[in-house]
Chains A and B, each alone.
Chain A
Amino acid sequence: MNEAARIPVAQPAPLLSVRNLRTWFHTFGGVVKAVDGVSFDVAPGEILGLVGESGGGKSMVGFSIMGLIDPPGRIEAGEIVFEGEDLARLDEARMRRVRGKRVAMIFQDPMTALNPLYTIGNQLEEMLKLHTDLPSARRRERAIEMLREVGIPQPESRLDNYPHQFSGGMRQRVVIAISMIARPRLLIADEPTTALDVTIQAQLLRLMKHQVTQNAASLILITHDLAAVSQMADRIVVLYCGRIVEKGRAADVIERPRHHYTRGLLDSIPHHDKAQARLRQIPGSVPDIRKLPPGCAFAPRCPAAQDICRRVEPELVETATGQAAACHFPIEAIR
């Protein structure tokens, strides 16, 4: 264990506190409990990794925080307390003043966030116009400054370009510039580098970390890439079928997972720094979220499942180190 872990840190009030969030979709095929009783905090300046496979509900947590859940989806219960204000209770008009200004979100495909009909200069300046009282002359300067910060060469001339004139990696840089220009307190990044090549991915992860640190903002990094999250996050939350199965400090979760699903995910990744004969695999596949088994949703695929797992849903139990797992038979750390 490293030194930092031993020093007790006074916990500051969280920037964001999600409490018992339930986001459900009422479809003809049944109720999809995309997020079902999720609670976590994000401290100021913290990078939180939200991981899991497709269907885990990680993106829906991000959408819920941003107030972007449309019918047939609905936030059924829970609180999303951000800087002391419950975002789940805000109407659309007041939510608009939060989005972009205080909380910003970026997506996997930068083209979904960029308007193809406006120059990126327009789009950067629009954010400043909406969310700051900067005079128009200063706005252009600030836009150029921001493009330079995210590593776009010749920002003065690039400002007048349209999104299609940029490559995929450059577009994602532009999106980061737009999302950070109003200096939000919290950035939510949903698979921001999944569509990009490894060399570009590393550049962008570094850029996001730098932007967040420099502005003393927090970051929720939503991704299926455990390796990337282990390099970025301070803490990790693992989701499976809309529920939290494990959370804790990044190093603890990666090195000493307590939930069998987390361990299964980690074991499934081929290690490129050492060769193995065979990968350990999680048997079966993610169940249909409309017909979750009773008890623990992971029980049908779990190597340690017993009778009780198929009957009683396990609670998240926290250990002394702040690591929590929702499991009747958690993996005990070998010290």
Chain B
Amino acid sequence: MAPLLAVRDLRQRFDVSGSIFDRLRIRNGRITAPRRIVHAVNGVSFEIARGEVLGLVGESGCGKSTLAKTVIKLHEPTGGAIALDGEDITQHDFHRMRPIRKKMQMIFQDPYASLNPRQRVRDIVMEPYLENAAGPVPDVAERALALLAKVGLGREHADRYPHQFSGGQRQRIGIARALSVEPDLIIADEPVSALDVSIQAQILNLMMDLKDEFGFSYLFITHDLSVVRHISDRIGVMYLGFMVETGPKDAIFENPLHPYTQALLAAAPVLGTPLPPAADAIKGEVPSALNLPTGCPFRTRCPLAFDRCAAERPVLKSQGGGHAVACHLHDAGVPVA
């Protein structure tokens, strides 16, 4: 069966040079005007099957949020292709995207910024539905209440405004809004990062219950490894705009192959274990996306880097069992398209 979402070699660059006057430089006695390009997403490919949860992890600046916003076409992609349910949406303009948004919805990190403060909750949750409705919807009030009930909010909440809710409740409103059009795919960008731990657990449980009930897929973006392991079927690890490793979650957690994935897992604090020794720690910081390293993006911090890593950029190669890694140390596999 064709995957629900297929992303091929997606690229996203942002020109941050500013005007010609911002760019003018004198170098070696000559006037130049170099451009400054942020290479946010650099040729990322992945698929999501129906009912599957793909977790994307990586540190800040690795391009995971940009990738999500590009997939849902909040940014126009610089290159590559996005197909939803077999339909190529890469070149779709605003009007052609409207019916697509019925199939693909997004939940944002900040439950404060992503709700209109002047709208009542009943209007917020029904907005995507009404936008896409062919004609008048006579049962709009009942539908709104039913949606709120699905996310654990009551009738008494329907006429309130967003500021009257706590962070966890606001995230529930955001989830209800996404559910209103019964989408096939929900893109969740750090949906629990702003919440307290006890509320995080409530929202994660709710998101999983709804998935089981409606059978949609998630593209779940987070920096939190314990959350990603809990919720995902498959995991993609991103670094500096590249997908460095993908695979079933147990393969990633039990047999991480990329040195970056290994370092990330070693650095994450685990309850009741001692602080990992400095020898296991990853050194330095993420290079600038304005000026990508040659070859492997991770080579500047990689303890195992050798000559080839600077000369040649590794591609994702399959290691069997759906596990693929982009590292010259695992060179034997077959390149993944």
Query: Smallest CB–CB gap between B211 and chain A, Å?
Result: 12
> How far does the alpha carbon of A198 sit from the alpha carbon of B197 in the complex, in Å?
17
Structural contact, B227 and A285, CB atoms closer than 8 A = no
Q: Tell me if B24 counts as interface (CB < 8 A to partner A).
A: no
Q: Tell me if B78 counts as interface (CB < 8 A to partner A).
A: no
Q: Contact flags (1/0) for A146-184 with B, using CB distance below 8 Å?
A: 000000000000000000000101100000000000000
Structural contact, A275 and B249, CB atoms closer than 8 A = yes
- B residues less than 8 Å from A266 (CB atoms): 271
Structural contact, A203 and B250, CB atoms closer than 8 A = no
Tell me the count of chain B residues lying within 8 A, CB to CB, of chain A: 44
Contact partner, A282, options B201, B250, B265, B269, Cβ 8 Å: B201
Q: Tell me if A307 counts as interface (CB < 8 A to partner B).
A: no
> How far does the alpha carbon of A282 sit from the alpha carbon of B168 in the complex, in Å?
12
Chain A 244-271 residues near chain B, CB threshold 8 A: 251, 254-255, 264-271
- B residues less than 8 Å from A285 (CB atoms): 166, 168-169, 198-199
Contact partner, A200, options B229, B269, B285, Cβ 8 Å: B285
> How far does the alpha carbon of A282 sit from the alpha carbon of B204 in the complex, in Å?
12
Q: Tell me if B321 counts as interface (CB < 8 A to partner A).
A: no
Q: Contact flags (1/0) for B169-205 with A, using CB distance below 8 Å?
A: 1000000000000000000000000001111111011
Q: Contact flags (1/0) for B271-282 with A, using CB distance below 8 Å?
A: 111111010011
Query: Smallest CB–CB gap between A198 and chain B, Å?
Result: 5
Q: Tell me if B267 counts as interface (CB < 8 A to partner A).
A: yes
Query: Smallest CB–CB gap between B272 and chain A, Å?
Result: 5
Structural contact, A273 and B270, CB atoms closer than 8 A = yes
Structural contact, A270 and B281, CB atoms closer than 8 A = no
Structural contact, A269 and B226, CB atoms closer than 8 A = yes
- B residues less than 8 Å from A278 (CB atoms): 205, 208
Contact partner, B201, options A169, A206, A273, A280, Cβ 8 Å: A280
Q: Tell me if B59 counts as interface (CB < 8 A to partner A).
A: yes
Query: Smallest CB–CB gap between A2 and chain B, Å?
Result: 12
Contact partner, B275, options A206, A265, A275, A282, Cβ 8 Å: A206
Q: Tell me if B230 counts as interface (CB < 8 A to partner A).
A: yes
Query: Smallest CB–CB gap between A167 and chain B, Å?
Result: 6
Chain A 71-103 residues near chain B, CB threshold 8 A: none
Chain A 199-256 residues near chain B, CB threshold 8 A: 199-203, 205-206, 209, 224-228, 230-232, 251, 254-255
Q: Tell me if B313 counts as interface (CB < 8 A to partner A).
A: no
Across the interface, name the chain A residue whose C-beta is closest to B277: A206
Query: Smallest CB–CB gap between A268 and chain B, Å?
Result: 4
Q: Tell me if A335 counts as interface (CB < 8 A to partner B).
A: no
- B residues less than 8 Å from A267 (CB atoms): 201
Q: Tell me if B305 counts as interface (CB < 8 A to partner A).
A: no
> How far does the alpha carbon of A86 sit from the alpha carbon of B225 in the complex, in Å?
43
Structural contact, A199 and B263, CB atoms closer than 8 A = yes
Structural contact, B269 and A276, CB atoms closer than 8 A = no
Across the interface, name the chain B residue whose C-beta is closest to A232: B275
Structural contact, B201 and A224, CB atoms closer than 8 A = no
Once A275-B249, A278-B205, A285-B199 are accepted as A-B contacts, the answer to whether A202 and B276 lie under 8 Å apart by CB is yes
Across the interface, name the chain A residue whose C-beta is closest to B269: A227
Q: Which of B168, B198, B274 gathers most chain A CB within 10 Å?
A: B198
Chain A 267-299 residues near chain B, CB threshold 8 A: 267-273, 275-276, 278-283, 285-286
Contact partner, A228, options B60, B197, B269, Cβ 8 Å: B269
Chain B 188-247 residues near chain A, CB threshold 8 A: 196-202, 204-205, 208, 223, 225-231
Structural contact, A281 and B201, CB atoms closer than 8 A = yes
Query: Smallest CB–CB gap between B38 and chain A, Å?
Result: 16
Classify chain A: how many residues form its interface, as a range.
35 or more
- A residues less than 8 Å from B226 (CB atoms): 227, 269-272
> How far does the alpha carbon of A190 sit from the alpha carbon of B253 in the complex, in Å?
31
Structural contact, B273 and A282, CB atoms closer than 8 A = no
- A residues less than 8 Å from B334 (CB atoms): none
> How far does the alpha carbon of A269 sit from the alpha carbon of B263 in the complex, in Å?
21
Q: Which of A197, A251, A276 gathers most chain B CB within 10 Å?
A: A197
Across the interface, name the chain A residue whose C-beta is closest to B280: A202
Once A167-B285, A199-B267 are accepted as A-B contacts, the answer to whether A272 and B229 lie under 8 Å apart by CB is yes
Q: Tell me if B268 counts as interface (CB < 8 A to partner A).
A: yes
Structural contact, B227 and A270, CB atoms closer than 8 A = yes
Query: Smallest CB–CB gap between A126 and chain B, Å?
Result: 27
Q: Contact flags (1/0) for B64-87 with A, using CB distance below 8 Å?
A: 000000000000000000000000
Query: Smallest CB–CB gap between B210 and chain A, Å?
Result: 13
Structural contact, A53 and B196, CB atoms closer than 8 A = yes
> How far does the alpha carbon of A170 sit from the alpha carbon of B282 in the complex, in Å?
15
Q: Tell me if A54 counts as interface (CB < 8 A to partner B).
A: yes
Structural contact, B205 and A198, CB atoms closer than 8 A = no
Structural contact, B59 and A197, CB atoms closer than 8 A = yes
> How far does the alpha carbon of A264 sit from the alpha carbon of B196 in the complex, in Å?
12
Query: Smallest CB–CB gap between A206 and chain B, Å?
Result: 6
- B residues less than 8 Å from A276 (CB atoms): 230
Across the interface, name the chain A residue whose C-beta is closest to B57: A198
Across the interface, name the chain B residue whose C-beta is closest to A207: B278
- B residues less than 8 Å from A170 (CB atoms): 285
Across the interface, name the chain A residue whose C-beta is closest to B288: A167
- B residues less than 8 Å from A280 (CB atoms): 201
Once A206-B278, A278-B208, A281-B198 are accepted as A-B contacts, the answer to whether A230 and B272 lie under 8 Å apart by CB is yes
Q: Tell me if B264 counts as interface (CB < 8 A to partner A).
A: yes
Structural contact, A53 and B270, CB atoms closer than 8 A = no
- B residues less than 8 Å from A197 (CB atoms): 59-60, 223, 286
Query: Smallest CB–CB gap between A124 and chain B, Å?
Result: 21
What are 8 sample pairs from A and B whose C-beta atoms fall under 8 A apart?
A197-B60, A198-B269, A205-B269, A225-B269, A268-B198, A270-B229, A279-B201, A282-B198
Q: A198-B267, A278-B208, A285-B169 are in contact. List 16 more A-B contacts (CB 8 A).
A: A197-B286, A198-B223, A199-B281, A203-B281, A225-B269, A226-B271, A227-B269, A230-B271, A230-B272, A231-B269, A231-B275, A272-B268, A275-B250, A278-B205, A279-B201, A285-B198
Partner-B contacts on A (CB < 8 A) = 53-54, 167, 169-170, 197-203, 205-206, 209, 224-228, 230-232, 251, 254-255, 264-273, 275-276, 278-283, 285-286
Pairs of residues from A and B, 6 with the lowest C-beta to C-beta distance, nearest first: A270-B230, A272-B226, A268-B201, A227-B269, A197-B59, A53-B196
